[in-house]
Structures are given as C-alpha cells and as structure tokens.
Amino acid sequence: MKSESLPMPTSSALASADTRRALAELDATGPRFNQRLQAHFRVVRAIYLRDVQTRVAGTRFGFLLSLFQPLAHIALLLTIYYILGRTAPIGTDTTMFIATGALPFVLWLYGFRQVKTAPQTNKRLTDFPGVTLVDVLIARSIVELLSSAGVTIFTLSALALIGFDVVIFDSPLFFFALFQAYLLGVCMGIFFAIISRMFFIFLIVGSLMVPLFWVTSGTIFIPSMLPENIAYWIWFLPMSQIVDATRTAYYGHYLSDFYNGYYIAGLMLSCVTIGVIVMYVCRTKLSE
C-alpha cells in the first residue's frame, strides 16, 4: 500500500491554527489579565496575517498593484487636466499639485474601504468563540497602516526617480496630514463597519460617500479660492481640510487657514465613540 504524502500547511492554515491556540487560552479557567491580553494579541496577529494574504491576493503582483494605484490615480487626473487645458493654481508643477491632493485621498480611501468591509470579509472568523469584532477591526487597521506607509514611500520615491522635484517645505506637518488622512479613513470605517451590521443600508451609504469625498476633497482645486458660499459648505467635509493642510506643508509660499485640526480630531473621536457605544448596546445583535 502506497503511502500518501501529507500536504504542506499554508499560511492561512497556520494562521487558523494560531487562532485556535489563542482561543484555547481564552477558554482556560480563570486566566489572569496579562494572559487574556496575550491571547487577544495572538488572535489579532492571526487575523492580521490572514488579512495580509487576502489584501494582496497572496501574490507579489497583488502587492505591487496596491502600490501602483496612487500613481494610476495621479496619471488619470493629469490626463483630465491636460485635456481641459488647465494648470496648477499654485506652484509650477501640475504633477506635484495633483500628487499632494491624490495621495492623502488615496490613504483615506484605503483605510475607509478596507476597515468598513472587514466584518463582512472576516465573518467566518467571528463565528469562533473568543474572536470579536474589535479584534477584526484592530487587525485590519494595522494592515492598512503598514499599507499606507508603503504607498506613501513608494509614491514619493517613484515621483522623485521619474524626475519630479519632490521637495517638502514642512515634512513633519506633511506626514502628519497624511497620517490624519489614514486615521480619518479608519475611524469612519469603524463607524460604518459597526452600524452596517445593524442596518445594511449604511454599507451602501458609505460606498456613496467615496465619490462625494473625491469631488470635494480639493484634489483638483484649492478650497479657499472657491466662492465663499461654496467654500463654507466644503469646509465641513474633512478631506478638503486635510488635502489643504498637505499642500500648506508642501508649498512654502502657500498660506491658508482652511484647516482646523480640532474639527478633524473631534470628527474622528465622534465616529469611534458612536461606533463603540452602538457595539456595546447592541452586542447581542452584533454577535448573531
């Protein structure tokens, strides 16, 4: 009788095994706080490894594709600009003007879209006792943080290698604005991820917000240069402020008071707070 060769375990199988071991620790009688914390950390790590695989389709091509998406976004906007015969309202390089608007928008989009859909893509994992919605959201947020950092480095490096003058006037403020774009996406994603578990219509509403934010983000215009009655309403859409802050940091000669950090922070805190309250009040419904 021929012996059958055993299949090698895949990364997903190893991640699942790690999850089961972590759950076994959670089921132990009377674990101490640090033991439960370590067990939850292992659950988040297992979900993180699984998300990394699905995020890039398990291939190098998928990883490279995720890096090239911002450049494709910039190229599309540049094509539209040249067809319309327009030039950058500030600076002398239209490409860098578009890039300073497209990059924060893409970081927001990645964080928002991926965190918003995390409960649906990991629904089978939450069926395991001990795996919570919080674990799923934390793991996905970590994946998107690393992805956003990679996208930022790759985009700026690619533009510099191509020959564009990538000179940032205020680097700390520039990268802080990009981090805020990611964080806003994650916070809004958490809100819609939790609310949409109760009311599916919010998943559709969240998807419809993407084109709205793209049109009003200021990627192809300067909000402060718009008519006052239009700029007033656009101010309430946070991406317009973050994009403006990014350009203020990049261009040393561009001064604007359009950005309000307290408003952005309050909006992010409100999204997370409301989401957590709904998750606590409706925890029985969310666990179904």
Torsion of CA 82, 86, 90, 96, to 10 degrees: -10
Mean pLDDT of the chain: 83
C-alpha 124/C-alpha 151 separation (Å) is: 29
Give mean pLDDT, residues 234-240.
94
The answer to whether position 23 is within a domain reads: no
User: Does position 5 have pLDDT exceeding 50, yes or no?
Assistant: no
C-alpha 182/C-alpha 194 separation (Å) is: 18
In total, how many domains does the chain have? 1
C-alpha 75/C-alpha 186 separation (Å) is: 26
At 34 the pLDDT is: 76
The answer to whether position 3 is within a domain reads: no
Q: Find, among 152, 146, 178, the residue nearest to 245 by Cα.
A: 178
The answer to whether position 12 is within a domain reads: no
The answer to whether position 105 is within a domain reads: yes
The whole domain housing 198 covers 66-286
Choice between 9 and 34, residue whose per-residue pLDDT is larger: 34
C-alpha 152/C-alpha 57 separation (Å) is: 21
Total Cβ atoms within 10 A of residue 121: 15
C-alpha 257/C-alpha 235 separation (Å) is: 11
The answer to whether position 45 is within a domain reads: no
The answer to whether position 280 is within a domain reads: yes
Helix H or strand E encompassing 65: helix 60-84
At 118 the pLDDT is: 87
Residues 27-58 have pLDDT tens digits of 544 556 677 777 778 888 888 888 877 766 55
* pLDDT class of 235 with cuts at 50, 70, 90: very high
Choice between 200 and 9, residue whose per-residue pLDDT is larger: 200
pTM of full prediction above 0.85: no
At 8 the pLDDT is: 46
Total Cβ atoms within 10 A of residue 136: 23
C-alpha 155/C-alpha 153 separation (Å) is: 6
Residues 58-87 have pLDDT tens digits of 556 666 777 777 778 788 888 887 787 778
The answer to whether position 42 is within a domain reads: no
At 3 the pLDDT is: 45
The answer to whether position 70 is within a domain reads: yes
